Structure formats: structure tokens, C-alpha cells
Amino acid sequence: MMCGGTSEAKPADAEIQAIINEVKAAVEEKVGKKLETYSPVSYKTQVVAGTNYFVKVNVGDEHLHLRIFAPLPHTGNPKELTDLQKGKTAEDELSYF
């Protein structure tokens, strides 16, 4: 991984599910509906002054790409949804946005 670049895509796990659960209300607000299906597929990370998580999420009829910022632990700040891309498919590559 190059400094400041994103990691390779990895399969989502329980830790990533917990991270996306923390921002689910913000995601639902941004897409304007309740999400019955909300399952992470894969993710990439980028180390900054904290960590950016780029997560592909299956929401049933489409996939969303989420960018979530996790601040450094000592700050005590919560994770934050910083951007979202709608209308993605299972085949769309997860990339920086």
C-alpha cells in the first residue's frame, strides 16, 4: 500500500458490519428511506489522521459505496459518514471518492 493510498479490497467482516451500523441512520437519511437490507460486501482503508473506510454495501435493489471516517481513538469522536455513492452494482469496483 502506498502512503496515503487505499488498501486492496478485502471481504467485509464483523468489524466492518459494526462500523457501517454506527452510521446507518446517516445513510438512511441521505438515501431518503429505511434500509431493510444493509450488508457489507467488501472494503478498503486509507490511513489519514485516523482511517477512511470505503465500504461496498448491499442494500437489496442496489449497492452503495460509503466513505466513513474513523478518527484516532484518543480523540473520543464518533465515526462519521463523509460521502456516499448510490446506484452501484455488485460488479462496480470500490475506489477512492
The answer to whether residue 58 scores a pLDDT higher than 50 is: yes
Provide the whole-model pTM. Answer: 0.90
User: Tens digits of per-residue pLDDT, 27-56?
Assistant: 999 999 999 999 999 999 999 889 999 999
Q: 10-88 maps to which CATH number?
A: 3.10.450.10
Give me the residue spans of the domains in the chain. Answer: 10-88
6-24 pLDDT, tens digit each: 888 999 999 999 999 999 9
Query: For residue 2, is pLDDT > 70?
Result: no
User: Is 93:68 a contact under the CB 8 Å cutoff?
Assistant: no
Residue 1 reports pLDDT greater than 60: no
